[in-house]
Structure formats: structure tokens, C-alpha cells
Chain A
């Protein structure tokens, strides 16, 4: 495996045909973190949001629909699994596919919420997530065209991948994970179901961390 002074030593590699997944100290940390939050999403009850009735002292808690809750939990777990895949994938295209899956499940987590603002924000976010796949796949395929391979193992440390492909990958991940585009994500966060909504942020930050490792490595 590559021995670069970037992310700590390699721990173990998992082979699936031409796609070799690997775990370094760095990716293992991310992996464990995502696992912890998947477990939390599985076992935690959602919080009950309290609202203050304006102009009075009355406080009421919102009820969460049971069907919606199950669906949200399913999507949060799917999102967590996609994140696990994205942080350990050793192949550029496979990474972009996992990232696209994260984008979809993120919208799924809030899709069932009956709030106009949340749905509007989710819709706008969805459009950005769709457009971002162009950059993700474009970045991966430009790397393939100019280097002849997609494997991060083969590319590591050689600096062959052109800057344009790297920029495309980063912009793609920014779109899928909404990394610095704060506003729609802040609206989405208003949705109830804290353990599941938190998964949106966990996944998007982790893929952002991963893509940074990738562009520094290849």
C-alpha cells in the first residue's frame, strides 16, 4: 500500500474484484464515528420538539407520526451505510456512487416531513444534489481518461490526476453533502427527529473529509 505522510499507516485492505477498499488510521476513525451514529439512529427515540405558543406561557410538544418515524429511521440507516461505503472505498467511481447515494438518502430523511419550508429546502437541495453527480462522475471519468485507472491504490502519491478532475470531485461532494452551502441545510435541520436529521450532517461532513484525503493522496 502507499506510504504517504498524509493519513497515518494502513491497517487493512478488503478486495472485491477490481475495487479494493482500504482502511487507514484516518478512514478507520471516520468509519468508527459513522458506525457510532448509525447505532444511535437505531436505538435512540426521536426528541419531542417543544413549541411556545406566542404571547402566552403555554408550551406544547409536537407529535411525530409513527409511519414517518419508521421511514426516517430506515433512511438514516441507509444513509449511514452509504457513508461507511464512501469512507472506505478505494475506487474513485465507487466513491462517487456512494456519495450520490448519500445525497438521495439525505433528502429521503426529510422527505416525509409535513412542513412547507423543510420540503422547499429539500427540493432545492435535491436539485443541487442531482446536478452535483455530473461533477462527481465527470471528475472520476476525467481521472480515468487521463490516468487509465480508477484505483486510488494505483494513483496514490504519483500526482497524475489533473487538477481539473480534483476540482470536479470536490465540487461534486460539496453539492451532494451541501458542505458550505449553509442555508438549505439549516432549513432542513428544522425537521423533527434529531437522531435521523443528525445523520445528514454526519454523512456530509464525513464525505467531505474523505474527498480531501482523496485529492491529497492521488
Chain B
């Protein structure tokens, strides 16, 4: 029995166990938790291949799991007609004065980094800003920007495929677009409070 077989054996046992849990579970919200467990074992099955390709396949696998979780939990809230908790914003002085400068620093640093990780850093800045300051939602605007950035990113991919000699343009395009996309997507999380949609 080589390493791959041993790993496969253990993982499949884990898959079976997690499915037994799913079989026995009756409560809707607990099912979501178990589903997360099951998905993780699926990722381990990919990891077992242990090449660069496996590394590249894990990211899509992870993203599929996260996005389905996001959608299902929202569907659950809708299905159960759960009210959205309302709370008063905390009144701390530093939360009114600090956000601009912190956000500015984080966004600038994110732009220097560029790309996916840059987007994440800049996005955290904006999340912070919106959480502290923003009581008005700007979903439409952020969504539009995010959508266009996503489309540009896909365009860059097609440039790589069809016109490889223009790769520099594609690199710049995709780097910039993903920066904007990730930033706006994360910023949207900051605006997810029952404020006014402007």
C-alpha cells in the first residue's frame, strides 16, 4: 500500500463518516454545518494528488464551497423568515475619527500590492470604513463597478488565450481589474447593514 492508497483510504473513511452524520441529522441549520464538513473532505481528496495542478484545483473547490454556503445561509434566513437584527451603532469617538486615515493607508498599500491580495487588503480598509461610517448603502454603484471589473478580468483571460503576444496588457488589465473587483466585493460586506440604499 503506497502513500496515495493510504491517504485515499483514510479520506474515504472520513467521507463515509461525515455522510453518516448527514444521514442522522434532522435540523436544517445543523445540516449546513455538516455540509461544510463534507466539503472539506472533498478538498482533501484533491490534495492527495499533491502536484501544482492539485494546488490550482483546490482554489476552485474552496470557492465553490464558500459561495454555496453563502447562498444557502441566505436562503435559510429567507425560508425561515428570520428578522434581520437591528442594533444602534456604537458611539465611540475613535470610530468616527480614525477610519479615513486607516482606510487611506490600507487602500494605498493594497494598490501597491495589486492583484488578489492587494484587493483583499484594500477591501479590509473599506469594510472598516463602511462599518464605522457608512449608514447609507451604495449597493448599485459598488455592484456596477465590481461587475465591470469582473468582465475586464475575463477579457484579460481571453487576451492570454488568443493574443499571447499582448500579455503585458493582459497582465496589467487583470491585475487592475481583480484589485477593483476584490476591493468592491469586500466593501459590499461592510455595507450589509439595513441602511438606506442610495
Contact = CB atoms under 8 A, between A and B. Distances in A.
On whether A and B touch (CB less than 8 Å), the answer reads yes
Interface string B145-189: 000000000000000010000000000000000000000000000
B28 interface: yes
B15 interface: yes
Given A127-B32, A130-B65, A134-B41, A144 B49 contact: yes
Chain A interface size, as a band, is: 20 to 34
A133 interface: yes
Interface in A119-149: 119-120, 122-123, 126-127, 129-131, 133-135, 137-138, 140-142, 144-145
Interface in B26-63: 28, 31-32, 35, 38-39, 41-43, 45-46, 48-49, 53-54, 57, 60-61
Contact of B71 (A104, A144, A150): A104
A131 B28 CA distance: 14
B69 interface: yes
Contacts of A199: none
B75 A107 contact: yes
B68 A133 contact: yes
A52 B194 CA distance: 39
Contact of A123 (B46, B61, B67, B72): B72
Given A116-B79, A119-B78, A131-B22, A137 B71 contact: no
Contacts of B32: 127
A144 B68 contact: no
Interface residues of B, number: 35
Given A16-B161, A133-B61, A134-B15, A127 B45 contact: no
Contacts of A122: 75
Nearest to B50: A145
B17 interface: no
Q: Is the interface of A mostly helix, strand, loop or mixed?
A: helix
B39 A126 contact: no
Contact of B43 (A17, A108, A126, A137): A137
Nearest to B160: A17
Contacts of A150: 53
A113 B78 CA distance: 10
A123 B75 contact: yes
A126 B68 contact: yes
B28 A141 contact: no
B4 interface: yes
Contacts of A206: none
> Chain B CB within 10 Å — which of A97, A122, A131, A141 has the most?
A141
B141 interface: no
A130 B69 contact: yes
Given A133-B65, A134-B38, A138-B42, A145 B79 contact: no
Interface of A: 16-17, 93, 97, 100, 103-104, 107-108, 111, 116, 119-120, 122-123, 126-127, 129-131, 133-135, 137-138, 140-142, 144-145, 150
14 contacts: A103-B68, A104-B67, A107-B75, A111-B71, A123-B72, A123-B75, A127-B32, A130-B39, A131-B38, A137-B43, A137-B57, A141-B46, A141-B57, A142-B8
